[in-house]
Amino acid sequence: MAHPLGADLPAPAPLYLDACATTPLAPEAWEAMERAWRESWGNPSSLHGQGLAAAEALERCRWQVAEDLGAAPEEVVWCSGGTEAIQTALLGSAATLPPGRLLISAVEHPATEAAAAVLVQRGWSVARLPVDRQGLLHLDALAPLLAPPTRLASVIWGQSEVGSLQPLATLGALCRERGVRLHVDAVQVLGHRPIDWSQLPVDLLSGAAHKLQGPRGIGLLLARRGLPLEPLIGGAQEAGRRGGTEPVPLIAGFSAALQLCHQRLRAHGGEDPVARVRDALWRALREHPGLELLGPDPADRQRRLPHHLSLLVRGQGGRPLPGRALVRALARRGVACGSGSACSALGGGPGAAATPATAATAGASRVLLAMGFTPEEATAGLRLSVGPWLRDDLLAGVPDALAAAIAEVDSALAR
């Protein structure tokens, strides 16, 4: 498929292992976008032929995404991405409630922390549910925190730094029992696990296209029918829940990418086949000295994201090695990976100042600090996240590249 500027769409780098940050655009998504740019370029709010064509394409995508996620079409709200979806869920929902307490986990994405900081300015209080050494919620601490004045809760379903999957059914049931409105950040889960919105005990759910080989600049919020929600951006579009002309080509790309993910899930009995690539990589790395697994065991499909591997890296004498230095050293060897959340600045990010753990050393991940790691250890996280563009044989050189990167960084620190 030709690029509109005349060049061929570039193939992803063969050793791109940073899927949790973003993903290369799937050819199917690109084709859907190109078709929409050509056939559905009008304003979907206009009443002439071009507008009606765009409106039809927009609603077809809404119906398709709703079907893939077990939702009703009117429950799908298009947003500019995961951050806007999360903040619409929290700020828009809180605007319809009397000020109270927001409950979040200690390992939330910076977008959630930023929304929490805004709510504090509006008279809300914020409580953080602690996690264990694997990044999983301490559910025994949940019941007291759901008592009044808690009115709203938000939890990251799949943690982007350490891969932990929270027990959503248990959490949602407790929130329903206490009458607490629950939002779930599913940005890292969407496309990697089957989601049946009709069965989830959740009121709001956010997702983003670029984490599943769709385009950047488009996300979604699922909101229960009848749930009051104030828009962050006023306007008549999206049933008054998000103003602005809908970007039909981006939405078409999102819909196509999500369909592709669900086809893979259905073909493999509901399991993401990239888990096998991740598992092969872990088997190749696990015997390397100085590597400690972060988060739940990859073999535990119910408690870990299928495409995610995270490690704490130590050098000679057990000294933790800075993850960001390792990322740069690996990039020089042709391996792209990550350290911490791509949306964090030095492991912090907007709203992070409200977290006591962020008083630790600069560069320390507040997620690892919340999990009980020391400030020095919390700088040493390395994340390898895979996607369907990778095969086992492409990863054969990763262990040697990592060993060389460790030796380089360790040597530099020893000088």
- Please give the positions annotated as active site: 343
Residue type, 375: P
Report yes or no: 175 and 181 within 8 Å, Cβ to Cβ. Answer: yes
Count of Cβ atoms closer than 10 Å to residue 267 Cβ = 10
CA angle, corner 286, sides to 285 and 291, nearest 5?
A: 90
Of 43, 73, 96, residue with least CA distance to 244: 43
| Spatial distance between the Cα atoms of 376 and 322, rounded to a whole number of angstroms | 8
Strands of 200-353, DSSP E: 204-208, 219-223, 291-293, 308-313
| Spatial distance between the Cα atoms of 291 and 318, rounded to a whole number of angstroms | 10
| Spatial distance between the Cα atoms of 140 and 23, rounded to a whole number of angstroms | 36
What's the alpha-carbon Rg for the chain, to the nearest Å?
Answer: 21
Report yes or no: 221 and 89 within 8 Å, Cβ to Cβ. Answer: yes
Kind and range of the H or E run holding 406: helix 398-414
Residue type, 114: A
| Spatial distance between the Cα atoms of 316 and 411, rounded to a whole number of angstroms | 9
Residues whose CB is less than 8 angstroms from the CB of residue 25 and which lie 6 or more positions away in sequence, other chains included? 9, 213, 214, 215, 253, 257
Q: Which residues pair with 129 in a beta bridge?
A: 105
Report yes or no: 275 and 294 within 8 Å, Cβ to Cβ. Answer: no
| Spatial distance between the Cα atoms of 163 and 177, rounded to a whole number of angstroms | 28
